[in-house]
Amino acid sequence: MQQFSWHHLNQWHFGVIPIVLLGIAGYLYAKGLRRQPAWPRSRAVWFYLGLLVTFLATESVLGVYDMEYFSDHMIQHLLLIMVAAPLFALSAPLDLAYDAGNVQLRRILDSRALTLITQPLFAFALYFVFIPLTHLTGLFNLMMEHEWVHHSEQIGFLVVGYLFFRVAFGRERGTTIHRGLRLVFVMAAVPVDTFTGLALVMSSHNPFPSYAAMAPAGSTPRSILANVHLGGAIMWIGGDALMLLACIPIAVAWVRWETIRTRELDRELDAQGL
């Protein structure tokens, strides 16, 4: 067996399309910051951390082997939808675009189409469908066969994750849900990751023929299936763990809000002599 070394990790996959898209996103956010000097710097930090995580997920060693090892592919997906996407949600990019944009851009952001897309129920339904669709159907084979589908899928994970976590964090303008219900919102999505992961773990055969064709030389059907099982376990355990981790700041924000509301209510009752 080949000994593992630093060389295996110190590999990079500098794709032109992902780097260009990341550069455009970084430039647009920086342009918005110049137009809105009072914009919270913490949100800018979240955004550029999101870009960094996206870059590492797609251009580092994960991007080198994401078409060869299913487990590597699953790590990449978790980083995109459950790490980078929440960071983008914390940066409130649509609010920055609204504040820094012109009248035409604000009209687009206030349009019925975008209002529908940012609805909590739409975000939840999209997440509920997108996860199993991209891991348990023939779409995965298409991704392995066509590079443009692969990149589209990566963008899809960022967009779906952003729409989901912007509701969970409730930082941006638009339709929001009660702070307590945000915990329910996140926890209700956990079974999706669990189901998807378990379906892969319990698979008795390789469900992705194209993956077998892209596997490293010398791979056997047994080793390929074992890697599919490992990827399913990563989705199941890793996805559930990251979801639970996201619940911590949501719960803290809810408790703080309830504490402030209780104090305000006490002051109002004291002012009324009750």
* Domains: count for the chain: 1
27 occurs within a structural domain: yes
Rounded to whole angstroms, the Cα distance separating 6 from 68 reads: 19
65 occurs within a structural domain: yes
118 occurs within a structural domain: yes
247 occurs within a structural domain: yes
56 occurs within a structural domain: yes
> Is 13 in a helix, a strand, or coil?
coil
Block means of pLDDT (10 residues each) for the chain, length 274 residues? 50 83 95 94 96 94 86 93 96 95 92 92 95 90 86 94 95 88 92 94 89 83 91 93 91 85 74 68
1 occurs within a structural domain: no
Question: How many Cα atoms sit within 13 Å of 242 on the Cβ side?
Answer: 23
Integer-rounded Cα Rg, in Å, for the chain is: 21
| Domain membership of residue 243 as a residue range | 6-271
DSSP string, 197-263: HHHHHT-SS-S-HHHHHHSPTT--HHHHHHHHHHHHHIIIIIHHHHHHHHHHHHHHHHHHHHHHHHH
Q: Token pair for residue 203?
A: 């698979």
Rounded to whole angstroms, the Cα distance separating 128 from 163 reads: 12
259 occurs within a structural domain: yes
196 occurs within a structural domain: yes
Rounded to whole angstroms, the Cα distance separating 265 from 28 reads: 42
